[in-house]
Amino acid sequence: MTRLGDLERAVMDVLWDVVPGTSDGVTVREVADALDGRELAYTTVMTVLDRLAGKGMVQREREGRAWRYRPAASREAHIAQLMLDALDLGGSRDAALVRFARSVTGTEAEVLRAALGADAELTGLGSADGGRAPARPGVELTDRVDGPTGRRPADEAVER
């Protein structure tokens, strides 16, 4: 996955924040207007959106003479893919995962345990407690984060 430049990230933030999953998307003008504090030409925003479409980060659909844009994947899916890509940079994936796990807060560790427990339960690979880790209140573990391929990033990591 390609890292985003500052302007690309700002445009993606607009799309992630403004466009609900059921929306038809937004126009270049709407994105330009939402980029508060930046004096950008319409053509600049259009070029950034075109490049993001070429990278597979946004989907676009023709509406009359204009295009409507929406994110190809959620912000969470994008971040998860960045994390997986970072693990592929070299060295030991296991060592990097252990170091990461030791660096998270207690609350974040609970979320990871609950997610791993839920995945183990779904695959029948539960631990001694049946794969049931205590879920953090307010965190829905049945939600899946699908990457641009339509599969969960964790599934893609298993195939590597």
Write down the pLDDT at residue 39: 87
Among the residue ranges 33-37, 46-50, 117-121, the one predicted with the least confidence is 117-121
Element (H, E) at 62: strand 58-63
Residue 40 has pLDDT above 50, yes or no: yes
pLDDT tens string 47-91: 999 999 999 999 999 989 989 999 999 999 999 999 888 888 878
CATH of 6-71, one of 2.60.120.200, 1.10.10.10, 3.20.190.10, 3.20.20.70: 1.10.10.10
Q: Where are the domains of the chain?
A: 6-71, 75-159
Predicted confidence at residue 134, as pLDDT, reads 44
| Cβ-based neighbour number of residue 49 at 10 Å | 24
Give the separation between CA 139 and CA 20, rounded to whole angstroms: 20
pLDDT value of residue 1: 58
Q: Looking at residue 139, what DSSP letter applies?
A: -
Structure tokens that stand for 155 in this block: 């599934």
How many whole angstroms separate alpha carbon 141 and alpha carbon 135? 8
Q: How confident is the model at residue 12 (pLDDT cuts 50, 70, 90)?
A: very high
The yes-or-no verdict on residue 155 having pLDDT over 70 is no
Quote the pLDDT of residue 18: 87
Burial class (CB in 10 A: 0-12, 13-18, 19+), 18: middle
| More confident site: 39 or 43 | 43
